[in-house]
Every structure is written in C-alpha cells, then in structure tokens.
A and B are shown apart, each in its own frame.
Chain A
Amino acid sequence: MPDGLFIRVDIAESVQGDPELVQRLIEVCPVDIFDRAEGGVATVAENLDECTLCDLCIQAAGDDRVRVVKLYAE
C-alpha cells in the first residue's frame, strides 16, 4: 500500500531552504501532514489520507511549491 491511498503531497525542493515557510506549513495543516525532517520539512505518511483538501498549505506556499494530489482522480 502506498503512503497515502488517496492523497499525495509533493513539496518542492525550494521549500526546504525556507525555514519560515517550513514553520508555516507545520502550523497551518489541520491534520499534521507536515513535520520537520533533516532541517527541512517532510510529509507524515500515516496522516496523508486525513488531508481535508483545505488548501491552507497551498495558500501558504503557492501551488508551485506544494501540490496536493488526489490519487483517486489520476
């Protein structure tokens, strides 16, 4: 089974060098999909399917830096 059955969240490399944005992503996601990892940010595999599609992460980062992918729509 993939990390998320229904949702994948892609984080652009450029986010990793932006500690303020990393912090914002961790703060805005209501279901804890983002967490600190190796000085940057990574997704929490077991929380991915909880994504509420609220777009708060995209509003924080811009849709070119964070992408929320609906795997069932692919």
Chain B
Amino acid sequence: MRFFEFEAKQLLARRGVPLPESRIARTAEEAADAQRELGGDVVLKSQVLSGGRMKAGGVRFAGSADEARGAAEAILALPINGQHPQGVLVERKGEIAQEYYAAVTWDGRAKRPVIVFSDMGGIDIEEVAEAHPDHLSRTHLSTLRPLSDYQAKLAVARTGVTGGDLNRLARIVLQLARAFREHDLTLAEINPIGKLADGSILALDAHMEMEAEARGAHRALLAELGIPEHDTRQARPPTPFEVAGAEVDAQDTRGVAGNVTEFSGSLGLVIGAGGGSLTLFDAVRSAGGDPANYCEVGGNPSVRKTAALTRLIVSKPGVEKIAVMMNVVSNTRVDIMARGVIKGVIEAGFDPADKIAIFRIPGSWEEEGFAILRRYGVEYVDRSVSMHEAARRAVAKLAGLDGG
C-alpha cells in the first residue's frame, strides 16, 4: 500500500530526517493560511498516489497567500492519472544547490534489501542508472544483521560524496533503511534530497509503500497516520473484474483463490503455490504470451471457490483459453483443483478440453486429479515438465501451434 507524500514525510519526521517546514491543506483557503504561516515562497504539491505530478500540473509555486489560494484551487480540481487529490502539501521553498537520490527497496535477484543512492537526484533514477552508472551505488543489506552506519555511509561514499555532506546524507539514508525494515516497506524513496544554498540538507519528496500483507502488524502506526482499515491505497482503483475476484476469495475461508489483477491479454491464468504465481506469470510473458490476468491460488481452496474464480477468468471478454499451473503442491490437493477448474469452465458454458490449454499442478493427490482430467479430455502434465515449459506449451496452443 502506498502512502501519500505527506504521510511518508511524517514517517521520516519521526526519525529526525530534516524536512522543509510544511502544512497539509484540504481547501484553497487552508493553503492560503499555510502560506501566511510559512511566509515567503512556497511549493504546493497535489497529494495523489501517482507519479508524474509535475508534468500534470500538480506542483505549483506561490509567493503570496492569494497565489497559494489560486494554485491550490487549480491543484484540487485536477485529477492525476484518474485520481482526485486528497489535499495539497504546502512547503517552504528553498534555493537548491544540488539534488541527491536515495531509496531502499528489495533486490529480487539478490533476495536482499538494497540501498540505491545517487548524487544525481530529481530525475528518473532509471535514466541515471543507464546513462551515468558511475553516479549510482547499490549497497545490499542483510535481512538478519542490524543496520549499521557503515552501510549507509558506504552507499553515499560510493558516489564520491565526502566530508560533511557524506555524514549528513548517510544519517538520512540510515533512517530511510530503518523505516524500510521496521515498517515492512517494499519501497522507501526520497527523490530528491536537496542540498540548499545555505548548506542544509532536506528530504524534499518522499515515496513509501508498505507490504499490503503487513498492514495488520502496523495497525497502530496506520491509525496514528489517520489511515482507516478500509483504505486499501492501491495505485489505481480496482477494476470490476478485480472486485469480483476479491468477492470470490471472500466467499469462504478455505484457502486462497483470488488476488486477481486484470490485464488485457487472451490467456487466462489460474496460477499459484508458494511464489508460483509470479514465476508462472513471468514464464507466460517470456514465452511471448499475453496474460488476461494475474491471480493467486493456494492453501487448498474449496471446489466452489476455485470454480467461481475459474468462471470469472474464463468468462472475461477476450479470454480464449486458460492455463492452470502451479508449482508442486503439498497443502493444496490436485484433485480438488481439477474439480474446481473443470466445474468453473462447464458452468461458464465451455468444454474443458477446449478451454483449458494446459493443466500443470503436480503434487498431493495427483493421480486422483489426473483421473478427473482424463475423464474430461484435458491436457495435463506432471512435475517432469517445468513451469516454464508448461507456460510455453500453453502459449503455443493459444497461438494455434502444437504445444507439445
């Protein structure tokens, strides 16, 4: 779940990270009052859960209360990427001498958190990584050992920063890494960190995202930030298809058959098992496939629930076939899954032999499951066929090629 900038900055402020003085305004009048309190030049920023605010006109400047009122009126009336602003952050504006970038996120390949730091902040960090790799450092962190000042310093020093700036920036980076770890964040980013003309260093913008599954562990923190339990903070509102997927998952407490994300392709996916969903989704993409959805199935969902999920996916406009694939399962039964998907396909008015491109769920009760699949003429494979190969066959079958 993503935090608004003003909330992310509250998390930083609690840790002593220096920030520009600011006020959150919900109305244009409050923005005018904020300018009066702060005095001088201010920047007004739209509070939306989306990037691209500057380009969209969601960031404006003002030097008086009247200008602030006008800027806030314009910002509050401006949706950005379909999102209506939840307020305007009014901040004191300073002269920036240099901008830096700092983030802590997960490195999926290294399976560890990583500090990414650059002395070229304020711009797209991917661009810096590509065009100026010598201006960007990556410093991996342990998931077990405590964070140390040294690691934060190393991350900054690797870009050539020295002296007092090194110490001040390292303190910010260390606090960012601590916030990342203690709040179960998936991303903690400050872009830019600004060095002002007077030499002070401030976090000028902040972007933080918390692991959605960790919300329960951070109820007190979220309550302190004023975030209600029903506020899911998805980057975009869920589509009707995704809402229906959540309803399927909520229909009984047995297992998981939901967490659906909508895509526009023609291959429906019923996938899951211990990280299998992500692997299988990627496998379909790397085989040239075009998924209609992402989803997560596991923990031995009921036949009813699997059938409802399958019905939803197979009935989605544009879906030509579905691929039913999981990693080797131990706590999900193959025969129960086979019953669920076949039932869902039949209930949606289709022939399982035609609609199911491939069934690759090896594991518990697989012989029983394979007997069901044989009865309905569904092509299935066991664990001797890898997830990637199964995905390739499903994609080939959809393309009208012989998948085998």
Residues of A within 8 A of B14 (CB): none
User: In whole angstroms, how far apart are the Cα atoms of A70 and B333 in the complex?
Assistant: 16
Q: List A50-66 residues whose CB lies under 8 Å from chain B.
A: 50, 52-53
List the count of A-B residue pairs having beta carbons below 8 Å apart.
30
Residues of A within 8 A of B343 (CB): 5-6, 49
Select one of A49, A72, A73 contacting B303, CB under 8 A. Answer: A49
Residues from chain A with a CB closer than 8 A to the CB of B304 are: 46, 49-50
| Across-interface contacts of A52 in B (CB, < 8 A) | 333, 336
Cα–Cα, bound, A1→B349 (Å): 11
- Which residue of chain B has its CB nearest to the CB of A46? B304
Nearest chain B residue, comparing its CB with the CB of A49: B303
Number of B interface residues, CB 8 Å?
Answer: 16
Binding site for A on B (CB under 8 A): 302-304, 333, 335-336, 339, 342-343, 346-347, 368, 371-372, 375-376
Task: For chain A, give the interface size range.
Answer: 10 to 19
User: How many whole Å from A2's CB to the nearest CB in chain B?
Assistant: 11
Chain B contacts of A73 at CB under 8 A?
371, 375
A53 and B302 in contact, given A1-B346, A5-B342 (Cβ under 8 angstroms): no
Report the Cα distance A35→B13, complex, angstroms: 60
Cβ of A31: which chain B residues have Cβ within 8 Å of it? 302
Instruction: For the complex formed, measure the closest distance between the CB of B335 and the CB atoms of chain A, giving whole angstroms.
Output: 8
Q: Which residues of A contact B335 (CB under 8 A)?
A: 53
Residues of chain A whose beta carbon lies under 8 Å from any beta carbon of chain B: 1, 5-6, 31, 46, 49-50, 52-53, 70, 72-73
Judge whether B339 and A5 touch: CB under 8 Å.
Answer: yes
Cα–Cα, bound, A46→B371 (Å): 22
Asked if B346 and A72 make an inter-chain contact with CB atoms under 8 angstroms apart, the answer reads: no
Q: Is the CB of B375 within 8 A of A72?
A: yes
A-B pairs, top 3 by smallest CB distance, nearest first, are A72-B375, A49-B303, A72-B372
A6 touches B302 (CB 8 A): no
Q: With CB as the reference atom, state the residue of chain A lying closest to B303.
A: A49
**B349 to chain A: closest CB distance in Å?**
11
Per the bound structure, the CA–CA distance linking A72 and B352 in Å amounts to: 14
**What is the chain A residue whose CB lies nearest that of B375?**
A72
How near does chain A come to B14, taking the closest CB pair, in angstroms? 48
CB-CB under 8 A from A70, the residues of chain B are: 371
